[in-house]
Amino acid sequence: QKEVEQNSGPLSVPEGAIASLNCTYSDRGSQSFFWYRQYSGKSPELIMSIYSNGDKEDGRFTAQLNKASQYVSLLIRDSQPSDSATYLCAVNAGRGNNRLAFGKGNQVVVIP
Amino acid sequence: DAGVIQSPRHEVTEMGQEVTLRCKPISGHNSLFWYRQTMMRGLELLIYFNNNVPIDDSGMPEDRFSAKMPNASFSTLKIQPSEPRDSAVYFCASSPSYNEQFFGPGTRLTVL
């Protein structure tokens, strides 16, 4: 079982719609969860971090964490063409280890 | 703040040659990470340092790869001898804590 899984294929959404991305992780003791955005040919950029169950909102982005079900999601409201990118889910197991495990990413295409 | 600095940004070399990638982390960050990204395998952690000490090198592919961090502001990743399958984008990231990591622009390596 992979540490972090992002199974959805490319996601196409019309401009103004909500894009929803999901991620599951295998280590039940994981402590910290992150979403990175990566534009084609660029480096990953941190956009959200979440550490406790529930929702965390930052502008048009909302991260949701459910530790019991071992999943974390990212919602992008009012999607814009500039949101077209690959979104990487990353999980830190904590316990004194600051290694991040990354999913393979989900490509989002916002159609004007 | 200048962010994480990597050099060179692009490297083209021939099989068998030595390649050295360089990274300057963000000042004050005590952890440094080397990643490799390919389409097939996604983003893979090669090695990370905490306070200049290598903590986890389990991702280093084989003995051809080595990494050093002689001081808090500089790290190198060396491949000797290089092979075509080493072609990838290599990222360096730094972190101030056991949490968020900030990525450099990456080095695109092509081994012919």
Which pLDDT tens digit goes with each residue over B80-107?
999 999 999 999 999 987 678 999 999 9
Residue A71: both structure tokens together:
């999943």
CA atoms within 13 A on the CB side of A85: 19
Confidence of residue A51 (pLDDT cuts 50, 70, 90): very high
Question: What local confidence, expressed as pLDDT, does residue A95 receive?
Answer: 67
Torsion from C-alpha of A21, A25, A28, A34, nearest 10 degrees: -60
Neighbour count for residue A28 (Cβ, 10 Å): 9
B26 alpha carbon, distance to own chain's centre: 14
Strand partners, A26: none
Site from A98, A104, A106, A107 to mutate, B interface, most B CB atoms within 10 angstroms: A98
Angstroms from A93 CA to nearest CA on chain B: 10
Interface check B104 vs A, CB under 8 A: yes
Mean pLDDT, chain A, integer: 92
Write the pLDDT tens digit of every residue in B29-69. 999 999 999 988 889 999 999 999 999 898 898 899 999 99
Helix H or strand E encompassing A97:
strand A97-102
Contact A87, A34 (CB under 8 A): no
Average pLDDT, integer, range A28-52 = 94
Q: Kindly indicate the confidence band of residue A3, based on its pLDDT and cuts at 50, 70 and 90.
A: confident
Chain A nearest-CA distance from B39, in A, is: 9
Residue of B nearest to A105 (CA): B42
Query: A29 falls in which pLDDT band (50, 70, 90)?
Result: confident
Find the length of chain B. 112
